[in-house]
Amino acid sequence: MKRVKIILAAAAAVILFAGCTEAAASDDSELAAETTTTVTSDDGTAVTTEEPAESQPDGPADDSDQLYDTKPISQAYLTGDETGLDDIQKEILSRAKDIISENITDGMDDYDKELAIHDYIITHATYDTAMLGVFEEHGEHSEDPYGALVEGKCICSGYTTTFKMFMDMLEIPCLSIVATADGGEAHAWNMAEINGHWYYVDVTWDDPMPDREGRPEQHQYFNTSKEEMKYRHEWNSTGYPVMDSMEDSYIAHELVNIHSVEEVAALMDKSFEERKMNFYFIPSDTEGWKLDPLTISPGFVSPSTINEELTAPVSEFKSKHSDYAILWQRREFEGKVIVAGYIVNM
């Protein structure tokens, strides 16, 4: 499960690819009919899944059985009974207890807990670059939480199992998807349920390389939509929960209305100071902004193509933070065209 980041600089536009090779994601509409069914999960919760009408599974699809089994560890956390855990599992459990104690508070809702765990993982673990070699080798524990939490390095299956383990410990419904991305490269990611709605989470791709200390956290693939994932992730969504709301998406929580280009400059500085790699805004007055729905695409554009007046504040940001650049994108959200900015290391 390999991941490469390629940065291309051209004509003031920087293009970031966080996968193995750039390829259009497959459209799974031919693999599964656009119908849904309601099934019951292991905890008795009703879950709406994407299903052909003739298929009636016992519960929502979950590929966790193809990955390192974290259930004994999460169950030990919930019950307090560590009987049966081996030494590696006990060390994972011990580290997880410390992390939850240090990062999760009683006043947090499930979204805040999920975000805190996501940010902890991408801040304290790094992608095992040995996987990027010719022989695609990786550390012994790079596919499990021991690699992520104790050794500090893992590959996508390690990020995925670690995130699911924490969600299970916090009793936030979560499942794993094992499929491909970027034209067939093996990959894994998660879905999590927040306030009754399911969202996609790819912790691996939110931990860009090189993993420099002090860089802002990335949230492009935190509680994102199926449409966003399908640009580069390839999977048959049959049987997985339907994502039917953006209420607790990262964009919904962070989207702000701005009234001037000066407010955009302030938003860029605020995001950097608060260690947020992504910011999203929508102009209250669209005069001067090129936000026609026909301009939406998964690619990045230069800021001047969105608004010519953005050039000056972007240059000022660059002068203050010479190791960083901002990637700009027009995207659709809840029927509106919004502007997304991604702060990246250069």
Evaluate the CA torsion angle 86, 91, 92, 98 in order and state its sign: positive
Task: Give the residue-averaged pLDDT of 48-69.
Answer: 71
Least confident of 119-133, 157-171, 224-238: 119-133
> Looking at the structure, do residues 282 and 165 belong to the same domain, yes or no?
no
Least confident of 57-66, 231-240, 286-295: 57-66
> Looking at the structure, do residues 299 and 227 belong to the same domain, yes or no?
no
Question: Is residue 21 one of the residues assigned to a domain?
Answer: no
Alpha-carbon distance values, 46 to 120, 224, 248, 334 (Å): 30, 22, 19, 25
pLDDT, greater one: 183 or 278:
278
For 112-125, what is each residue's pLDDT tens digit?
A: 999 999 999 999 99
Task: Give the residue-averaged pLDDT of 233-238.
Answer: 93
Question: Is residue 9 one of the residues assigned to a domain?
Answer: no
Name every residue whose Cβ is closer than 8 Å to that of residue 344 and which is 6 or more positions away in sequence.
7, 14, 16, 208, 277, 324, 325, 326, 327
The pLDDT assigned to 339 comes to 97
> Looking at the structure, do residues 228 and 149 belong to the same domain, yes or no?
yes
> Looking at the structure, do residues 195 and 335 belong to the same domain, yes or no?
no
Question: Is residue 303 one of the residues assigned to a domain?
Answer: yes
Task: Give the residue-averaged pLDDT of 227-245.
Answer: 93
The pLDDT assigned to 24 comes to 32
> Looking at the structure, do residues 244 and 267 belong to the same domain, yes or no?
no
How many of the other CB atoms lie within 10 Å of CB of 317? 21
The pLDDT assigned to 176 comes to 97
Confidence of residue 89 (pLDDT cuts 50, 70, 90): very high
Question: Is residue 17 one of the residues assigned to a domain?
Answer: no
C-beta of residue 268 within 8 angstroms of C-beta of residue 317: yes
Question: Is residue 32 one of the residues assigned to a domain?
Answer: yes
> Looking at the structure, do residues 59 and 178 belong to the same domain, yes or no?
yes
Mean pLDDT computed over every residue of the chain: 84
> Domain range holding 218?
28-250
> Looking at the structure, do residues 135 and 284 belong to the same domain, yes or no?
no
Give the integer Cα–Cα distance in Å for 202 and 190: 6
Indicate the residue among 250, 280, 314 that finishes a domain. 250
> Looking at the structure, do residues 152 and 274 belong to the same domain, yes or no?
no
Q: In this structure, are strands 233-234 and 174-181 parallel, antiparallel, or unpaired?
A: antiparallel
Indicate the residue among 208, 227, 250 that finishes a domain. 250
Indicate the residue among 250, 270, 285 that finishes a domain. 250
CATH of the domain at 117: 3.10.620
Confidence of residue 38 (pLDDT cuts 50, 70, 90): low
> Looking at the structure, do residues 280 and 180 belong to the same domain, yes or no?
no
Residue with tokens 């905890």: 43
Question: Is residue 8 one of the residues assigned to a domain?
Answer: no
> Looking at the structure, do residues 242 and 201 belong to the same domain, yes or no?
yes
| Percentage of the chain modeled with pLDDT above 90 | 66
> Looking at the structure, do residues 244 and 260 belong to the same domain, yes or no?
no
Query: Number of folded domains in the chain?
Result: 2
Q: Is 179 helix (H, G, I), strand (E, B) or coil?
A: strand
Q: Is 14 helix (H, G, I), strand (E, B) or coil?
A: strand
Question: Is residue 128 one of the residues assigned to a domain?
Answer: yes
What is the pTM for the complete model shown? 0.82
pLDDT at 19 over 80: no
> Looking at the structure, do residues 246 and 260 belong to the same domain, yes or no?
no
CA 187 vs. chain centroid, Å, equals 13
Question: Is residue 13 one of the residues assigned to a domain?
Answer: no
